[in-house]
């Protein structure tokens, strides 16, 4: 068969070739170092020169931060995976060469901020480099680690174009770094620096985002992972609000544990002597204050009542039955006039706020008095001058 003629002559297929510049991070790093040297470390001028330089940032973002953060940090190129400068140019204007003080380090943070505003895509590279540095903290000297901690804290204080907290906190949890105590000292410097400009709530917020807030003890070597060690360490470091925050959190967890155990026992109508033992055990283990115990006992008792939707009389009977059933439990822990008064306030406020119980206050008080939970003196004292304005 004859070949069919084609219109428009022959089409020659040409394949577009990707003509790529050879990959040379070393030359890129040297160019960045040179800019530092040419401008004698003046970060304003360096930022301008970098702005106008013909540098391939999208390809060498990591190299830029190693030669800029790393030049900013170690003043020279670093070999991949390490932080010790490679041979090649160095400059003396890096964070590692300056004083471990915020005023010396802040300008570099602001400089990096400027670069990132012009080239937001570089944030990914800053993340990579930060993660690498934090994973190899043991290669730095103690003084240099302190500078890194100040730099990192300032990066968060300055809201450094979205550096994510998980990039900072997660890489620190390498077992060998934690075991040597390197992580604890780094994180202590970080907290101290960060709290100069920010509140404890801000710190807790970034810890939450970094998935660290629930397990702050993970920063401690395993032998020192106790609430006491935590309190002692951060008190000594002068970060008392963090200690108070942590103690409050532990306390709340223990209260909740007691509440859960009690709720189960009351719902299952466990023998009252067993319930009393449970409470005593929790009070002892968690050093719970009497007042909290009395409040929780009342809450748990009332939460366990099977309330009817509409029927006031049924609700009244159920509430009074509950008081009668568990009076001995209340009696065991209402051991003073002060605690009896606390219970009376608790009942008063609940009867004021809960429509089901609104008209029941006198009857509940009467029942508590009949069961010897409240003494006559307590009721009279409350009546004369102890009333809470609610109801």
- Reported as a single tens digit per residue, the pLDDT across 34-86 is 787 877 777 878 878 777 777 777 777 777 777 665 444 444 444 444 444 44
Percent of the chain scored above 90 by pLDDT? 37
**CA 95 – CA 194 distance, rounded (Å):** 17
Q: What is the pTM of this model?
A: 0.70
Tens digit of pLDDT for each residue in 226-237? Answer: 999 999 999 999
DSSP for 147-179, written as a single string: HHHHHHHHHHHTT-TT--HHHHHGGGG-HHHHH
Least confident of 70-84, 184-198, 358-372: 70-84
Q: How many CB atoms lie within 10 A of CB 370?
A: 12
Mean per-residue pLDDT, 339-347: 92
Say what the pLDDT of residue 80 is. 43
DSSP-assigned beta bridge partners for residue 90: 76
Interaxial angle between packed helices 361-370 and 312-333, expressed in degrees from 0 to 180 and rounded to the nearest 10: 40
Sign, Cα dihedral of 131, 137, 139, 141: positive
Dihedral sign (CA 196, 230, 187, 102): positive
Q: Which of 246, 208, 200, 255 is nearest to 227 (CA)?
A: 246
């Amino acid at each position: 068969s004859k070949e069919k003629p084609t219109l428009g002559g022959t089409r020659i297929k040409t394949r577009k070739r990707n003509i790529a510049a050879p990959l040379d991070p070393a030359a890129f790093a040297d160019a960045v170092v040179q800019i530092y040297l040419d401008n004698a470390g003046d970060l304003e001028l360096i930022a301008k020169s970098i702005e106008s330089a013909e540098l391939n940032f999208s390809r060498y973002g990591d190299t830029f931060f190693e030669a800029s953060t790393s030049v900013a940090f170690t003043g020279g190129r670093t070999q991949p995976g390490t932080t010790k400068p490679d041979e090649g140019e160095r400059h003396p204007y890096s964070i590692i060469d300056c004083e471990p003080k915020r005023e010396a380090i802040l300008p570099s943070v602001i400089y990096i901020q400027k670069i990132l505003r012009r080239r937001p895509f570089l944030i990914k590279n800053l993340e990579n480099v930060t993660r690498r540095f934090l994973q190899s903290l043991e290669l730095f000297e103690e003084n240099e680690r302190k500078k890194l901690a100040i730099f990192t804290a300032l990066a968060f204080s300055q809201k450094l174009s979205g550096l994510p907290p998980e990039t900072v906190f997660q890489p620190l949890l390498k077992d060998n770094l934690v075991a040597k105590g390197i992580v604890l000292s780094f994180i202590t410097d970080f907290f101290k620096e960060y709290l100069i400009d920010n509140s404890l709530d801000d710190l807790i917020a970034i810890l939450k985002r970094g998935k660290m807030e629930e397990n702050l003890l993970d920063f401690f070597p395993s032998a020192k992972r106790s609430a006491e060690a935590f309190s002692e360490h951060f008190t000594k470091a002068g970060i008392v609000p963090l200690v108070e925050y942590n103690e409050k959190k532990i306390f709340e967890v223990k209260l909740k544990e007691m509440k859960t155990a009690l709720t189960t026992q009351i719902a299952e109508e466990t023998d009252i002597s067993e319930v009393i033992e449970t409470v005593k055990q929790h009070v002892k283990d968690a050093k719970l204050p009497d007042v909290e115990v009395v409040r929780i006992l009342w809450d748990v008792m009332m939460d366990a009542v099977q309330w009817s939707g509409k029927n006031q009389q049924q609700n009244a009977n159920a509430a009074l039955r509950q008081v009668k059933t568990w009076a001995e439990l209340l009696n065991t822990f209402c051991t003073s006039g002060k605690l009896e008064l606390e219970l009376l306030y608790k009942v008063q406020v609940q009867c004021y706020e809960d429509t089901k119980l609104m008209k029941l206050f006198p009857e509940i008080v009467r029942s508590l008095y009949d069961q010897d939970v409240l003494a006559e003196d307590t009721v009279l004292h409350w009546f004369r001058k102890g009333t809470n304005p609610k109801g």
